[in-house]
């Protein structure tokens, strides 16, 4: 069965700064359900990216209600990024939601691996500790970009809220990132209790870990229960209290360039070692030419990726 897509009959042609400002002004007092309905009717290529946290689950339920009211299949397909380190409870929940709402579920894992054992054989046993940015790129950023390319995604519904703080404190209902991807944040004005009340009222299935004291559930190796008085997402990255985002909502081009630069440096180090050079960097490669080539590759990649937002 082909995945449903949003109607394009009244699609907004482009989200330039002026249009975006007007859209957010129009949605300033809208309910989450109204924002979702607006997105379904006006934004083509609409999907929902979700790790099945409470806010994402509430949005999925609202999409289901709208779909039933219109007597249509679930209107916004789901994208789930399987890092290979999710709790078993999260994986079970993903499939329970797929069944309950008859929602198309697209799962994307890190390139070339299907489980944690294969990931660690390729990248090391504790990459999340040794190089967080590379880890985030491999398990979230690259799979997400691959999902967008594969599925033709132009816009996503997210589970971000202002009350989660940090970079999310000033969220608007609709944003556009550096790649041109439209991000719809229907529950941006709700607090944690608002979301939990909706979940309970609507009978939405949720992660049983929440009943054990967790509030934001990510990978098992980095998620802990928040302490009394700590913020909702404080337990998301146990070893890094300053971290607030996994990479999906950071500058994609910057993360891509940083990852590719590290890969090139690793390749050069391996080449140096194979030649028997004593120190990395003592190769016969003309570094000025190499750096020029890097810049050219970065620029080419950026233009290529920008086409995703066309």
* Mean pLDDT to the nearest integer, 218-227: 87
Provide the pLDDT for residue 264. 79
Same domain for 303 and 157? no
Does residue 188 carry a catalytic annotation?
A: no
Provide the pLDDT for residue 224. 85
Please state the domain count of the chain: 2
* CATH number of the domain within which 135 lies: 3.40.50.620
Query: 299 falls in which pLDDT band (50, 70, 90)?
Result: very low
Residue 124: how many other CB atoms lie within 10 Å: 14
62, pLDDT greater than 80: yes
Taking only Cα atoms into account, the Rg of the chain, rounded to an integer number of angstroms, comes to 21
Query: 292 falls in which pLDDT band (50, 70, 90)?
Result: very low
Query: 166 falls in which pLDDT band (50, 70, 90)?
Result: confident
225, pLDDT greater than 50: yes
Nearest-5° Cα angle at 201, 7 to 98: 50
310, pLDDT greater than 80: no
Is 92 contained in some domain?
Answer: yes
* Mean pLDDT to the nearest integer, 50-57: 95
Is 141 contained in some domain?
Answer: yes
Provide the pLDDT for residue 83. 96
* Mean pLDDT to the nearest integer, 271-289: 56
Q: Are 172 and 278 in contact (CB under 8 A)?
A: no
Same domain for 183 and 276? no
Same domain for 286 and 167? no
* Mean pLDDT to the nearest integer, 3-13: 50
The residues that bridge with 80 in the sheet, in sequence order, are 107
Provide the pLDDT for residue 191. 92
148, pLDDT greater than 90: yes
257, pLDDT greater than 50: yes
Is 53 contained in some domain?
Answer: yes
Same domain for 177 and 76? yes
Give the highest mean pLDDT range of 103-107, 131-135, 177-181, 264-268: 103-107
What is the rounded distance in angstroms from the CA atom of residue 100 to the CA atom of residue 67?
Answer: 13
**246, 248, 250, 305: the active-site residue:** 246
Same domain for 23 and 172? yes
Same domain for 159 and 72? yes
Is 153 contained in some domain?
Answer: yes
Is 247 contained in some domain?
Answer: no
Query: 278 falls in which pLDDT band (50, 70, 90)?
Result: low
Single pTM value for the model: 0.78
Same domain for 190 and 274? no
Which has the higher per-residue pLDDT, 200 or 214? 200
């Amino acid at each position: 069965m082909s995945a449903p897509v949003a109607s394009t009959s009244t699609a907004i042609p482009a989200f330039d700064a002026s249009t975006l400002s007007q859209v957010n002004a129009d949605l300033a007092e809208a309910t989450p359900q109204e924002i979702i309905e607006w997105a379904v009717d006006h934004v083509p290529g609409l999907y929902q990216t979700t790790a099945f946290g409470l806010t994402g689950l509430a949005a999925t339920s609202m999409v289901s209600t709208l779909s039933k009211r219109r007597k249509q299949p679930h209107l916004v397909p789901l994208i789930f990024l399987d890092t290979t380190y999710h709790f078993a409870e999260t994986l079970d929940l993903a499939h329970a939601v797929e069944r309950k709402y008859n929602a198309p579920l697209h799962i994307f894992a890190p390139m070339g691996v299907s489980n944690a054992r294969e990931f660690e054989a390729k990248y090391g046993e504790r990459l999340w500790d040794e190089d967080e940015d590379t880890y985030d790129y491999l398990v979230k950023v690259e799979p997400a970009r691959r999902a967008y390319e594969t599925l033709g995604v132009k816009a996503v519904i997210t589970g971000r809220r202002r009350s989660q703080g940090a970079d999310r404190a000033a969220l608007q209902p609709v944003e556009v990132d550096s790649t041109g991807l439209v991000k719809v944040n229907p529950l941006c004005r709700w607090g944690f209790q608002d979301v939990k009340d909706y979940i309970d009222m609507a009978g939405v299935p949720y992660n049983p870990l929440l009943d054990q004291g967790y509030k934001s559930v990510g990978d098992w190796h980095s998620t802990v229960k928040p302490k009394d008085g700590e913020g909702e997402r404080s337990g998301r990255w146990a070893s890094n209290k300053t971290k607030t985002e996994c990479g999906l909502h950071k500058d994609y081009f910057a993360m891509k360039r940083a990852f590719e630069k590290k890969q090139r440096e690793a390749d050069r180090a391996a080449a140096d070692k194979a030649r028997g050079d004593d120190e990395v960097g003592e190769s016969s490669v003309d570094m000025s030419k190499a750096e020029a080539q890097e810049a050219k590759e970065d620029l080419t990649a950026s233009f290529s990726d920008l086409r995703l937002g066309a």
